[in-house]
C-alpha cells in the first residue's frame, strides 16, 4: 500500500532505485519479525506450543523503534 506513494514522492529524483529496494527490505523485515510465520525458528516454537503473539509482546518495542 505504501510503495506507490513512495515512488510518487521520489519521482523527481534522478537516482531513486535504491529507495524502493531498501523500502522492500525494511517492510519485509519488520513484518516478518512480528509473526512466527516470518521466521522459521519462531514457527517451530509455535508448533511446540509457544503463543502465536509471544513475539509481538517481546519484540514490539524494537520493531516500533525500527518503524520510527
39 in Cβ contact with 32 (< 8 Å) = yes
How confident is the prediction along the chain (68 residues), in pLDDT tens digits per residue? Answer: 777 887 788 878 887 777 778 887 777 777 666 665 666 666 777 788 878 777 778 878 887 887 78
**66: its cell numbers:** 525500527
* pLDDT for res 55: 72
Could you identify the residue written with the cell 514490539?
Answer: 60
Whole-prediction pTM value?
0.43
pLDDT for 67: 79
Amino acid at each position: 500500500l505504501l510503495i506507490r506513494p513512495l515512488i510518487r514522492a521520489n519521482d523527481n529524483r534522478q537516482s531513486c532505485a535504491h529507495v524502493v529496494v531498501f523500502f522492500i527490505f525494511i517492510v519485509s523485515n519488520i513484518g516478518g519479525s512480528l509473526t512466527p510465520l516470518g521466521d522459521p525458528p519462531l514457527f517451530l516454537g509455535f508448533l511446540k506450543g509457544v503463543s502465536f503473539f509471544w513475539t509481538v509482546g517481546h519484540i514490539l518495542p524494537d520493531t516500533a523503534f525500527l518503524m520510527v
